[in-house]
């Protein structure tokens, strides 16, 4: 019998990793980075040598680092097999893995400065540029809806998950016990109310379903209400005279924020005359979205074309790209009147930390969170109301107004997760992953109450027969 083992993203939203073992092959579904504090850092440093020796193929659902970010380390530790993903995901991995290697290298360099002074053991980066290039050379892109036979007579088909460019629901046909069994992994299911992406594909047949549960305990606000709240915050920030900081992931969330700022600008409701996108990776991804327009929602593109030839940058004239470190540092001299979009989305790294250092202590500043903040991250601490934070060696008082706009989430909310699950006709066994315990429990109860589905919440290292 084939076996599925849960190696990550159980009881948490990051570190996605699942092992599939058949009589003829061992497959790794996802190999994601852990995010959120010292414990996550230790998990990312752990050796993958044994896993690299066992695995015949890697299958990725999409490019976000919590799903794909440790693949270059797996390669560094000896893996040389194929890495399957969609073409859109491969385009993003070329940007994201390279950027991650640079950021990790700088973080390690910074950390080692004080370690040398303290006579402590120096750290090595999790992976470096050459590991990324080797990993990219192993990638084999597969378009949506094309059946691919991979190692061990396993069938692989990708379906559009509607989350970010190239994001996929993974459908695997696995030989087990003399018959074929169908395993479906939702990946990250998109929010149908989000812009630019299509709605997630609804599948009808499976024996086992691994379903994400990030927002399993709540629904998002209606998008119209969210846009009105954003407009109100921006109007108040303009009246206060301070800066607006928007921590946003470079992939997906940044492009959605730019879209809505463009619509507000065209409607005459955006009074700020300076909007900065301060993230080289987000700039690259925004330009990639422009090149991959055929993969985006045509209705949203039509609205952009009315004001900017279908491109986010052209539809928002106040937008300025801050590509260099010097460009970024110049923004910190601006004390008010600017909207600054920078990564990372959970404030655990990237240029946003510099902008927070220069703005968090200002009472006229506003910080707008537009996505989920995982436990242990700086973003989560700010959302939870911390009064002081340490940033780049300095203690900073939190005087800025902190806002959370959950309606911008690129993840499906509870009711949307329930609708997706209800489409399956074969009454498959459900396993809830990618969620914090409260969200998982709430979704499990809702699945049973509304659809009679008995969902399992696996623990780390648990195994089930497929």
The whole-number pLDDT of residue 9 equals 96
| Residues 195-236: tens digit of each pLDDT | 999 999 999 999 999 999 999 999 998 999 999 999 999 999
In the chain, what are the helix, strand and coil shares in percent, each to the nearest 5?
A: 35, 20, 40
Separation CA 210–CA 433 (nearest Å): 7
The whole-number pLDDT of residue 304 equals 84
By the 8 A CB rule, do 414 and 443 touch?
yes
The whole-number pLDDT of residue 404 equals 93
The whole-number pLDDT of residue 164 equals 95
User: Which tokens in the block code for residue 212?
Assistant: 């994400």
Q: Is 357 helix (H, G, I), strand (E, B) or coil?
A: helix
- What the chain holds in terms of domains, given with CATH numbers, is 3-218+410-465 (3.60.15.10), 223-408 (3.40.50.10890)
The whole-number pLDDT of residue 407 equals 83
The whole-number pLDDT of residue 308 equals 61
Low-confidence ranges of the chain (pLDDT < 70): 307-310
| Residues 346-358: tens digit of each pLDDT | 998 889 999 999 9
Q: Is the pTM of this model over 0.85?
A: yes
Find all residues with CB under 8 Å of 88, minimum gap 6, and list them: 165, 166, 167, 292, 295
Separation CA 56–CA 24 (nearest Å): 10
The whole-number pLDDT of residue 237 equals 96
């Amino acid at each position: 019998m084939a076996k599925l083992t849960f190696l990550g993203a159980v009881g948490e939203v990051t570190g996605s990793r699942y092992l599939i073992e058949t009589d003829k092959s061992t497959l790794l579904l996802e190999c994601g980075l852990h995010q959120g504090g010292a414990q996550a850092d230790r998990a990312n440093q752990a050796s993958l040598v044994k896993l690299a020796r066992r695995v015949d193929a890697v299958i990725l659902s999409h490019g976000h680092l919590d799903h794909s970010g440790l693949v270059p380390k797996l390669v560094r530790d000896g893996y040389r097999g194929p890495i399957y993903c969609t073409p859109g995901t491969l385009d993003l991995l070329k940007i994201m893995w390279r950027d991650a290697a640079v950021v990790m290298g700088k973080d390690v360099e910074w950390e080692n400065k004080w370690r040398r002074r303290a006579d402590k053991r120096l750290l090595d980066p999790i992976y470096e540029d050459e590991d990324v290039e080797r990993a990219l050379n192993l990638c084999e892109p597969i378009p949506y809806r094309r059946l691919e036979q991979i190692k061990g007579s396993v069938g692989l088909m990708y379906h559009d998950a509607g989350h970010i460019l190239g994001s996929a629901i993974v459908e695997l046909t696995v030989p087990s016990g003399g018959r074929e069994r169908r395993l479906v992994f939702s990946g990250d299911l998109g929010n149908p109310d989000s812009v630019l992406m299509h709605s997630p594909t609804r599948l009808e047949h499976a024996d086992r379903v691994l379903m994400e549960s990030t927002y399993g305990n709540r629904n998002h606000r209606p998008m119209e209400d969210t846009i009105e709240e954003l407009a109100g915050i921006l109007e108040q920030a303009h009246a206060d005279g301070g800066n607006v900081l928007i921590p946003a992931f470079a992939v997906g969330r940044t492009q959605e924020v730019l879209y809505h700022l463009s619509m507000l600008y065209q409607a005459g409701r955006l009074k700020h005359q300076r909007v900065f996108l301060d993230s080289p990776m987000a700039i690259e991804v925004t330009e990639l979205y422009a090149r991959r327009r055929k993969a985006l929602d045509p209705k949203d593109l039509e609205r952009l074309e009315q004001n900017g030839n279908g491109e986010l940058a052209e539809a928002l004239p106040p937008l300025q790209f801050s590509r260099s470190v010097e460009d970024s540092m110049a923004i910190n001299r601006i004390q008010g009147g600017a909207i600054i979009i920078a990564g990372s989305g959970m404030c655990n790294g990237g240029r946003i930390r510099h902008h927070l250092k220069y703005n968090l202590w200002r009472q006229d500043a506003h910080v707008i969170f537009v996505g989920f903040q995982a436990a242990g991250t700086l973003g989560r601490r700010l959302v939870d109301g911390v009064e002081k934070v340490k940033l780049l060696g300095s203690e900073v008082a939190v005087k800025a107004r902190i806002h959370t706009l959950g309606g911008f989430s690129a993840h499906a909310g509870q009711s949307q997760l329930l609708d997706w699950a209800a489409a399956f006709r074969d009454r498959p066994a459900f396993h809830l992953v990618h969620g914090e315990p409260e969200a998982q429990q709430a979704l499990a109860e809702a699945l049973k109450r509304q659809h009679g589905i008995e969902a399992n919440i696996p623990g780390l290292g648990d195994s089930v027969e497929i």
